[in-house]
């Protein structure tokens, strides 16, 4: 008996109303994601990356098609999925420890339980456990947001450009933190980004989106670098610049020409 793919998007489409009439944000999105896989969805602004992620999270309902987990369609948020947004979205009146503890209450019954401090330690910010968000840097707040998501013990970690508001050095540190946490936890990660280098460093596979409106999957690209990874090793790999050129060529040219997998 064939086991179902843990996460599958089938014929996914989203149409939004507008004063000028219905606008199709994404159409006919088909993606199959294996357990423990790290996938990035990459494309220009307005290509529907975050819309796709919101439908996976259950925050938006698909107009057509569906999000299927273990063979069952899901249409609302569930404890097996946790989201980290662009902004940390921490409750400002709670300490880091209290923010994490609150999310931990959503962990499925029987899930492996750790203390809030354990999750803060996992992402490298145990020293801020007693601080309010207003006393933390933006990068530290985003680490706490990641710890909060992990404390719910989700199977699927959904990341919506979580490092886009950070400066370059902090962003690099957060990428390393995320990679280390993913390698330790083995969770399935779906991450939205518009940063080519970030995608190549972190992911097993890149889902390249065509431009909107009516954006769709233009290409699925396997990242060839071995794991565990270091930034220096990836940059020194002879295949790196070829992969980077391929992605940029797609985004600069083909993303504007493809519609439903066919050139316009």
In this predicted structure, the answer to whether residue 258 has a pLDDT above a threshold of 90 is no
The pLDDT of residue 18 is: 87
In this predicted structure, the answer to whether residue 261 has a pLDDT above a threshold of 60 is no
The pLDDT of residue 263 is: 42
Domains of the chain: 7-80+156-258 (3.40.50.300), 91-154 (no CATH)
The pLDDT of residue 42 is: 95
In this predicted structure, the answer to whether residue 65 has a pLDDT above a threshold of 70 is yes
Global pTM reads: 0.92
225-252 pLDDT tens trace: 999 999 999 999 999 999 999 999 999 8
For helices 96-104 and 138-151, the axis angle rounded to 10 degrees is 20
Task: Dig out the tokens for 239 from the structure.
Answer: 């295949």
């Amino acid at each position: 008996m064939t086991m179902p793919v843990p996460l599958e998007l089938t014929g996914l489409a989203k149409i939004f109303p507008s004063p000028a009439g219905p606008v199709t944000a994404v159409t006919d999105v088909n993606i199959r994601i294996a357990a423990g896989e790290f996938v990035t969805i990459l494309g220009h602004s307005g290509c529907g990356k975050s819309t796709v992620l919101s439908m996976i999270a259950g925050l938006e309902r698909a107009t057509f098609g569906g999000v299927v987990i273990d063979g069952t369609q899901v249409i609302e948020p569930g404890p097996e999925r946790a989201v980290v947004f662009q902004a940390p979205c921490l409750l400002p009146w709670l300490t880091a420890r209290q923010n994490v503890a609150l999310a931990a209450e959503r962990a499925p019954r029987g899930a492996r339980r750790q203390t809030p401090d354990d999750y803060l330690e996992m992402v490298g910010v145990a020293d801020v456990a007693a601080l309010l968000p207003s006393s933390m840097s933006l990068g530290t707040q985003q680490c706490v947001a990641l710890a909060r998501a992990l404390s719910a013990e989700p199977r699927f970690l959904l990341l919506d450009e979580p490092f886009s508001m950070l400066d370059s050095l902090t962003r690099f540190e957060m990428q390393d933190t995320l990679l280390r946490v993913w390698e330790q936890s083995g969770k399935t990660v779906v991450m939205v980004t518009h940063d080519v280098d970030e995608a190549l460093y972190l992911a097993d596979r890149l889902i390249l989106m065509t431009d909107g409106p009516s954006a769709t999957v233009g290409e699925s690209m396997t990242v060839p670098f071995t794991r565990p990874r270091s930034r220096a090793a990836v940059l020194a790999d002879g295949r790196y610049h070829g992969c980077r050129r391929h992605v940029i060529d797609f985004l600069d040219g083909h993303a504007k020409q493809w519609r439903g997998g066919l050139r316009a």
